[in-house]
Amino acid sequence: MAHTSTYRTRIAGTGSYLPEKILTNVELEKLVDTSDAWIRERTGIASRHMAADGEFTSDLAFHASMRALEMAERTPADIDMILLATVSPDQIMPNTACVLQAKLGAPECMALDISAACSGFVYGLAIADQFIRTGPLKNILVVGAEVLHRIVNYKDRDTCILFGDAAGAAVVTRAEEGQDSTIYSHHLHADGKISDLFVLPGGGSVHPISQYVLDNNLQYVRMKGREIFKNAVRTMSQACQEALEYNQMSADQVDWVIPHQANIRIIEAVAKHFGIPMEKVVVEIEDTGNTSAATVPVTLDRAVRDGRIQRGQNVLLTAFGAGITSGSLLMRF
């Protein structure tokens, strides 16, 4: 939530990075019993990117971060904190934010990963906002980065058609006098009662890596797609409504909505529930697929760079993910 505070927070720059290699629906037809037509119609996805061998989550994060820093006219030396949202870290330990810190050559600032699945970037922006508003920090790097293809089973058509690899980043800064952009509010939620809808069971303390894990494919994500679909529409619609009510705004006053890019049909249903035309909803799923924590920053960056999103416009971010986590963040860009 927001906001009584000393300072205002703004996004000074955005960046994104998609690995070169592309996996098309047609190629997936050779791996599982599916079709290009089914995937396009049921999800809106035509292709997704895949990290190369030897390319890790921290590498994708590095490229996206450098682009965001460049737009923000900052260097790694300016960074006061790194927040990296991911469900596909380089390793369980150390956190990938520390790996990124070293790759960037950033100062010895606080650096941590956020585990909130596809909501992770919105969670990260909210945490950054709190530190900027109240504290001495001026420049926080928030990143969503995923190499999902390494935790997806390419024999499971329920999941493998959806996911891709990508990273997106934002440099979140203290607004100076004369800069009127600001984060108005954030509303974040989690409902652990339905955490079984989307899981990666292996590799933690419940199922440490063992032959049993490998024999049962517990090292891969698994989900109840239809249930997630319903909850995604419900939670994102509610979080958007909450943002409007809190700020006493109407849907007409929102210039752009950037929803988590999980499925075009989920996005369309949220727009309908929320009462906003699809022309105001940024959709970038066709060539990326669902890149979990990266979808919101990648979509934001694309819309900023191609001029759709302009300074001074009201932009509403919304996401949901495993947990089930969800939330919204409303800002004047």
Residues 94-133 that bind ligand UT7 (CB under 6 A): 118
Task: Give the C-alpha separation, 99 to 284, whole Å.
Answer: 28
Pairing of strands 314-321, 256-259: parallel
Estimate to the nearest angstrom the gap between the alpha carbon of 263 and the chain centroid: 14
Q: How far is the CB of 317 from ligand UT7 (least distance, A)?
A: 15
Query: CA 81, CA 108: separation in Å to the nearest integer?
Result: 9
- 43 part of the interface to ligand UT7, by CB under 6 A: yes
Is residue 240 annotated as part of the catalytic site, yes or no? Answer: no
Question: Tokens in use for 63?
Answer: 């490229």
User: What is the separation of C-alpha 162 from the centre of its chain, rounded to a whole number of angstroms?
Assistant: 15
Q: Is 224 helix (H, G, I), strand (E, B) or coil?
A: coil
**One-letter amino acid for residue 247 of the chain:** N
Contact 107, 128 (CB under 8 A): no
Annotated catalytic residue, options 25, 95, 139, 290: 290
**Judging by beta carbons within 10 Å of its beta carbon (0-12, 13-18, 19+), is residue 286 exposed, middle or buried?**
middle
List binders of ligand UT7 among 169-198 (CB under 6 A): 198
Task: Please list, residue by residue across 240-259, b when 16 or more beta carbons sit within 10 angstroms of its beta carbon and e when fewer do.
Answer: bbbbbebbebebeebbbbbb
Residues 135-174 contacting ligand UT7, CB under 6 A: 157-158, 161
Nearer to ligand UT7 among residue 34 and residue 313 (C-beta): 34
Nearer to ligand UT7 by Cβ, of 37 and 52: the residue is 37
For residue 133, the Cα-to-chain-centroid distance in whole angstroms is: 22
Gap between the Cα atoms of 231 and 243, Å rounded: 18
260 catalytic, yes or no?
Answer: yes
Q: Under rule CB under 6 A, how many of the chain's residues touch ligand UT7? A: 19
Q: Answer yes or no whether residue 237 interacts with ligand UT7 by CB under 6 A.
A: no
CA distance 164 to 25: 12
Which window, 11-19, 205-213, 218-226, 248-256, contacts ligand UT7 (CB under 6 A)?
Answer: 218-226
Closer residue to ligand UT7 in complex, CB, 118/147: 118
Task: State which residue has the least CB distance to ligand UT7.
Answer: 225
Least distance in Å: CB of 50 to ligand UT7? 18
**Three-class SS of residue 155?**
coil
**Which residues, 284 to 303, sit near ligand UT7 by CB under 6 A?**
290
Candidates 147, 262, 281, 309; binder of ligand UT7 (CB under 6 A) is 262
Nearer to ligand UT7, 78 or 191 (CB): 191
Instruction: Using the rule CB under 6 A, give the single segment among 38-46, 133-141, 241-249, 308-316 that binds ligand UT7.
Output: 38-46
Distance in Å, CB of 146 to ligand UT7, minimum: 11
* Tokens encoding 258: 């950037």
Residue 45 C-beta: closest distance to ligand UT7, Å:
9
> If 0-12 CB within 10 Å is exposed, 13-18 middle and 19+ buried, where does residue 239 land?
buried
Verify whether residue 207 is a known catalytic residue: no
Q: Which of residues 304-323 bind ligand UT7 (CB under 6 A)?
A: 321
- For ligand UT7, the binding residue among 228, 258, 300, 317 (CB under 6 A) is 228
Element (H, E) at 64: helix 57-71
Q: Out of 98, 118, 160, 240, which one is annotated catalytic?
A: 118
Q: Name 49's bridge partners.
A: 22
- Candidate residues 114, 169, 172, 223; the one interacting with ligand UT7 per rule CB under 6 A: 223
Which parts of this chain interact with ligand UT7 (CB under 6 A)? 34, 38, 42-43, 118, 157-158, 161, 198, 223, 225-226, 228-229, 232, 262-263, 290, 321
The residues that are catalytic are: 118, 260, 290
